[in-house]
Amino acid sequence: MVLSMLGQQRQVLQQGFILLVAYLLSLIWLTVTPYQQISPNVYFILSHQLNYVLISLLFLILSIALIRPLSHPLLSSLLGAMIGFILFNHTLGLAYLDPRQIGWVMHNDWQFNFLAWQFFRAEEWQFPIGKISHYIYPTGSSIGYADTVPLMALLFKPFNHWLPYHFQYLGFWLCLCFCLQGVLGTLLIRRFTQNIFLQVLGATLFVLSPVLLMRMGHVALCAHWLLLAGIYFYIQPTNSYSNNAWLGWWLLLAVISALIHPYLAVMVLGMMVAFYARLLLERYQSILQVIMQLGFIGGVVLLTWWQAGFFLIHNTQSVVTQVALGYFSMNLLAPLDSMGLFLILPAIKQATTGQYEGFNYFGVGGILLSVWAIYALIRFPIKSVTRRFFLPFFLLSIGFTLFALSNKATMSDVVLWEWNNQFLFLLNVFQSSGRFFWVVNYFILLSSIGLLLRRYSTTKAGVLLGFIVVIQLVDFLPFHEKYIIRQADNATFVWENPLSNPIWEKAAPYYQHIVMVGAPDVCGESAGDYAPFAYLAAKNGLTLNAGRAARVDIKNTLLACEQQRLEIEQGHVENDSIYILHPTYAGILQANTTTPLLCKTIDTMYACVTQQSSQAWLN
């Protein structure tokens, strides 16, 4: 008895020492990062200090857990959320959470996500409910194709009249994704251990996943917690829930993923099919039951996509990236390819410039862990029961890997094989096929952690996982440094609207349309940046014939462009429209129109309206 107690005390002291060292390393990591050389703003200071408090609180809870074992799932979830928030706060900062801060969203892809939301919130409810009529007029768009995170857009639109005009939810969504990544990470590790300390270390590796961090610029695709939730459901014992309960859980996950992004929804549906295949192998359900439940969930997902506006647009293509399957694929060396964004491993040559979509770097810590897992599987083969349990998921992983590699498999810049078929165009709707390895990426990480926890004692597993976390953090220093420098730069949060002349706001309420001739990204020669005009149009309830979306109705859009050019060549203008013209079209219009025009260069943009319409507002 005494020896047993001494052994337990020694184990607690060892874990306490490890915890103390890890805590000091965390504080040093926050202190020595290069951003201290940059003058911070208020948000930057608050973010930095808050992380000190949160990390201290996290380690205090873990210290208590060493003395008094704690294993409640709510506590695990809370700690996982804290880990996610700490990384979000350290990388992006509290300024992103300010819903009135739109300076940062008016950059990169965030810009068109935000502007599409501005149009959607300003329009009356339509059918389907995700339709946006005034954006990319007259073909229109939808909250699905504009990547506005339809779930959030639908949640906030009913409160539009109470929200400030400068309102964005993208920062909140990014934070939520990081927190839920931590929550699902801890819940996954709970399937292997009840030790809170090990759960936190494992969840940290999920939050530090390179494929998650690389998606911060694409907010809808940042919801990798959906993939962790699918894996979590799959690894649960079959008798954890009744048949109806399993149907409910998978239905809920499928609908939520369908309201976030179709790529993530298809990955979730793939895991769901693998799960029901496992039920068949276990004879827990009959073939008829499985077909009926899968058909029901699939039908609800299609209905959800319809209402989000995914079926509104025919002839859907990306105007900017009309490429074939294989261009946005995954390179076979992707798990080792840091693309030059991380510290330890260099970038590897790629076969196409589009293979950034197949980014699946494990991180040096993840690579070491995976190599050890391969060794462990060879040295200690898994039992037949376990192999049978994971067989459907293993087959799914093979399928997703092959699709990620696409019909044109490459290793570095060498093409290993290329297969063409007349029916391949059917898969082109998911042309960024490299993303489908994400599920496999996370499953490899979970399996490697699980093997480590099963092969070693709590103390040894804690030391090894702690080492992996530290290596991962060191590897990520350049990546984090880039975002931290942006966080400390006030220019990141400032958008200077180029339409500074007050005449724009004065005139806009008297018109119904803004017509850009030609429309950027759509109709050839650009009349200028569409973003400030989209902001103006959405604010005043006007339509805009320009914009960006993940997919557009290219056939009808090009027809609209041709019709627009013909009208300009014929000198036809409307009293309800503000025309923003490229110099080429400005000369053509003025040479052919018989309608008196008021034209002027304002804020470097050449604008024309009819003289008749200008009398209503020009005093």
> pLDDT averaged over the chain?
88
Distance CA 575, CA 612 (A): 7
Ranges of each domain in the chain: 1-33, 323-455, 502-615
pLDDT digits (tens, 9 = 90+) for 149-202: 999 999 999 988 888 888 899 999 999 999 999 999 999 999 999 999 999 999
Determine the average pLDDT of the residues in 465-493. Answer: 88
Determine the average pLDDT of the residues in 344-373. Answer: 94
Token pair of 588, please?
A: 């053509």
- Report DSSP letters for 101-112, one per residue: --TGGGSTTHHH
- Beta carbons within 8 Å of 297's beta carbon, 6+ residues apart: 247, 250, 251, 254, 269, 272
Q: What is the pLDDT of residue 49?
A: 84
Q: How many residues does the chain have?
A: 619
| Buried residues in 19-58 as b, exposed as e (16+ CB within 10 A) | beebbeebeebbeebebeeeebbebbeebbebbeebbeeb
Q: Is residue 300 classed exposed, middle or buried when 0-12, 13-18 and 19+ CB atoms within 10 A define those classes?
A: middle
Distance CA 580, CA 573 (A): 12
Q: Is 309 helix (H, G, I), strand (E, B) or coil?
A: coil
pLDDT band at 446 (very low <50, low <70, confident <90, very high): very high
Distance CA 104, CA 122 (A): 21
Determine the average pLDDT of the residues in 516-539. Answer: 83
> What pTM value is reported for the model?
0.91
Phi, psi of 585 (to 5 degrees): -75, -30
pLDDT band at 15 (very low <50, low <70, confident <90, very high): low
pLDDT of 35 > 50? The answer is no
Distance CA 193, CA 69 (A): 12
- What Å distances lie between residue 319 and 389, 507, 522, 549, 551, CA to CA? 44, 31, 7, 9, 7
Distance CA 374, CA 52 (A): 37
- Output the CA torsion sign for 172, 51, 84, 356: positive
Determine the average pLDDT of the residues in 300-308. Answer: 97
**Who has greater pLDDT, 521 or 558?**
558
The closest of 488, 451, 515, 497 to 193, measured between CA atoms, is 451
pLDDT of 520 > 70? The answer is no
Q: What is the pLDDT of residue 60?
A: 86
Distance CA 518, CA 580 (A): 8
Report yes or no: 361 and 211 within 8 Å, Cβ to Cβ: yes
* Pairing state between β 543-544 and 513-517: parallel
**Who has greater pLDDT, 415 or 36?**
415
Q: What is the pLDDT of residue 519?
A: 64
Determine the average pLDDT of the residues in 570-586. Answer: 92
pLDDT digits (tens, 9 = 90+) for 51-99: 888 888 888 888 887 777 777 888 899 999 999 999 999 999 888 988 8
The closest of 292, 310, 195, 194 to 251, measured between CA atoms, is 292
DSSP designation for 381: P
DSSP designation for 608: E
